[in-house]
Structure 1
């Protein structure tokens, strides 16, 4: 197993990123395996499947992708057409077409001239006809144009992602197409290519830098009193709150070129038991401060890391919970390797927490372990595989390992790291120290 420490650290150092391109052959193969005629996806910049497939970032209106297998006598593996929205044609040409050219990566590719144009043999193009029409309507017209009028494509069958917008589906069906759902994109996204891992490592290093800033602030804080005479943590002459701490984290993230994406979760005391707390609470001594930092980095890839600290603590529930969660993390990581059922990782974490006296099957709002031990991370913060779902871990899967225990009246403790499954185990995409007592990290 590797800790990834040779790939940069908290100082913001970052090697150059490998060229990022998506292999569309799994989509072509899914169409062929289903005896379908084409694949169609419709969405906008919030559709992570479409962004993954096209590497086309930022359009604020809907667009479409159509992929068809090669016709008889066609040298390419297939054809892919991006129906770009108005004013985005140049960007689509750059990111979807030029970005997939073999020569942009300096590689050699045997085969026909057309094959050599694109890294996966799928010929790409951008179409801008009828940009004022609905994206689903444009997709239907593109399907008709690519398939032609031959009898072999009467009543075409189109594979679509389960999340295709209803109005787009209506346009496609009105044009005489039959739709069938496919999980080909979800399956392809689950196993990361080397270029994707580059981006995940970079954003996770930035995540660690954000965490270091938070821990440093907590370590530099002192204890005072609020206006009501209650003890409160103070930093730089003013009460420290979860919002002040969040701003410090987000500034550290921005300095390293990543965006917080509204996902810097910081809770203290009872709000630390809220898995997605983004409110403003005063930080008080002796209470758990839970920080879950999940920024968006290069090409949309996400980081994810959680640590828990206590300022001026006195042991008790927080210390017992921390020891249990740290042990559960180690037990879970020990199971991460190719071929292991994903549920095994969750099961080991739950069993360890149970051994420390915490309910391993607590429901939301109850005391104990209330969530799964981890989930996939990529262009989406939550994507397959899930460590409570079916299936086995495979090389290239990137998952969080994040056991935690919570008491709604007291607080919460969670420790989370991001790992990639390798051929013989796992690699931490970025390391960060452990310890419930905050220390200055520079």
Structure 2
């Protein structure tokens, strides 16, 4: 586990420290996918908002479609990986793309047409091409009309689910920055004072929006951007799992903070804590105890490491929450899965509801929760990587319902 003092604010992470090198992508998984399917090439088309393209090319722009083409050695030569990018992005593409060749194309040519032309050079208009399910329809039509047989593949999703050491370095760094944002929020809550039915901080009412702005400033100082993912609810709005609105914060009600920023290489952090200022130990205390016990039950399952069925992690967490008298699958109670994968997407494979075994290198959230829209909500979430013989928390952060200065 990461050093708790560093994550919680006791040991300073230098905001000016350089980031790990940009992760590369080993295209061996595409060679294997082509071999298994007796296919000749792989093609994907998308823009910088397409996380599969971000993973395949490590290219962070532009906001219009570009193409990635991988031709296997079955075509008669060595396997080759090519990025077809608009000419205005030549320097950036050559700097960021880890593959064999960058081709600069006319910005007016459709990306699917550029991919088709490159395939024609290698395959002569005949062959089987693998594409992810998310390939744009127009790009698929360009390829099919040129005579290529298209087959869908999950190869990219499968490869993204298991992180390399360089990817884990990025995830650890983002998660440490996420913890600094959480520490800022917890400190503000600890410093706030009750005044009737509202909390005051530095001379004014404390709201979810005011707290969110403080978190986001801290995230920016540590080199990550909030990406619109700083979710903070208070009281009933805690039951809204993605609340980013403005709500006053009152003494005695739950304040749920789910912070999920994105780092410069595209990888996300994800951390959730729940606090109560001047609580009376009622519903929120019982819910917190149940959620904390559920997370510990999930960790106990993850202690087995690689090979444990993902679904058993969820089932044990859900069983623990049910043992405390809360419903599972409906409100009031535990209304979502125990966790999901995190990488260049905030939500990606694996799901802890799936029956498949977890593999070493998979990064997942562990985030049981209990919600009641008439009361509030409690969730505790940490980000872990599965190892051969257990798991590692990517950045430890203390738990506790009463906020402390960090």
TM-score range, shorter chain: over 0.9
Counterpart in 1 of 2:100? Answer: 124
> CA distance change for structure 1 residues 423 and 440 in 2, over 3 Å: closer, same or farther?
same
Counterpart in 2 of 1:403? Answer: 368
Q: Number of residues paired by the alignment?
A: 399
Moved over 6 A (4+): none
Counterpart in 2 of 1:291? Answer: 257
Gaps of 5+ in 2: none
Counterparts of 2:190 and 2:164 in 1: how far apart (Å)? Answer: 38
Superimposed CA distance per residue, residues 106-160 of structure 1 (whole angstroms, 9 cap, x where no aligned partner) = xxxxxxxxxxxxxxxxx610112343210011111111112236xxxx3x21100
Counterpart in 1 of 2:13? Answer: 12
State the Cα distance separating 1:70 from its structure 2 match: 1.9
Gaps of 5+ in 1: 101-122, 226-230
Counterpart in 1 of 2:202? Answer: 236
State the Cα distance separating 1:71 from its structure 2 match: 5.2
Counterpart in 2 of 1:69? Answer: 72
Bigger Rg, structure 1 or 2: 1
Which segment is superposed worse, 164-173 or 180-189? 164-173
Counterparts of 1:59 and 1:171 in 2: how far apart (Å)? Answer: 21
State the Cα distance separating 1:16 from its structure 2 match: 5.7
State the Cα distance separating 1:6 from its structure 2 match: 9.2
Counterpart in 2 of 1:389? Answer: 354
Q: Among residues 295, 308, 313, which one is paired with 1:340 in the alignment? A: 308
Counterparts of 2:22 and 2:404 in 1: how far apart (Å)? Answer: 38
Q: Among residues 126, 138, 142, which one is paired with 1:171 in the alignment? A: 142
Counterparts of 2:5 and 2:64 in 1: how far apart (Å)? Answer: 37
Counterparts of 1:72 and 1:328 in 2: how far apart (Å)? Answer: 52
Superimposed CA distance per residue, residues 365-419 of structure 1 (whole angstroms, 9 cap, x where no aligned partner) = x210000000000000000000011311110000000000000111000000000
Q: Among residues 236, 243, 265, which one is paired with 2:231 in the alignment? A: 265
Counterpart in 2 of 1:247? Answer: 213
Counterpart in 1 of 2:166? Answer: 195
Q: Does 1:306 align with 2:272?
A: yes
Matched residue SS, 1:290: strand
State the Cα distance separating 1:19 from its structure 2 match: 5.2
Counterpart in 2 of 1:136? Answer: 112
Counterparts of 1:204 and 1:302 in 2: how far apart (Å)? Answer: 8
Superimposed CA distance per residue, residues 38-70 of structure 1 (whole angstroms, 9 cap, x where no aligned partner) = 100000011101110111112111100000112
Q: Does 1:274 align with 2:240?
A: yes
Matched residue SS, 1:306: strand
Counterparts of 2:168 and 2:102 in 1: how far apart (Å)? Answer: 28
Q: CA RMSD in A?
A: 1.6
